[in-house]
Amino acid sequence: MASSYTTAFRAEAVKLVLEQHLNVPQAMPKQTLDKWVKLAQQGKLAGLDQHRVQPVDELSAEVARLKRELAESKMECAFLKKAATYFAKEFTLSTRS
């Protein structure tokens, strides 16, 4: 007799495998879980489209974009620190006069 699993159960099982690299062999046959994971990675399992594995080139592009964004933020932060130091000195000099 084939078991019927809820969408929520399937989602949680696939999430454990994909995000935490865990296995759920006690709850179901390994082949069933493997099938769900494969379908989820292809974006074909209901409610699990977000678990589709991104191709390496997409991930590389995202990493490059995030590195550029981080570098820009670091430059902005350094500039603001210098500006704050400058204006603090100006303020100190103007209050002494």
pLDDT tens-digit readout, 5-14? 788 788 888 8
pTM above 0.95, yes or no: no
Query: In the prediction, which pLDDT does 72 show?
Result: 96
**pLDDT bracket for residue 90 (50, 70, 90):** confident
Tens of pLDDT along 60-75?
889 999 999 999 999 9
The full DSSP string for 29-91 is -HHHHHHHHHHHHTT-STT-GGGPPPPHHHHHHHHHHHHHHHHHHHHHHHHHHHHHHHHHHHH
Q: Does the pLDDT at position 55 exceed 50?
A: yes
Tokens, residue 37:
């994971």
If one compares 47 and 91, the residue with the highest pLDDT of the two is: 91
Per-chain mean pLDDT for the chain: 80
Taking the C-alpha atoms of residue 58 and residue 37, their distance in angstroms, rounded to an integer, is: 20
Task: Identify the sign of the CA torsion 31, 35, 4, 22.
Answer: positive
If one compares 14 and 49, the residue with the highest pLDDT of the two is: 14
Task: Identify the sign of the CA torsion 32, 44, 54, 69.
Answer: negative
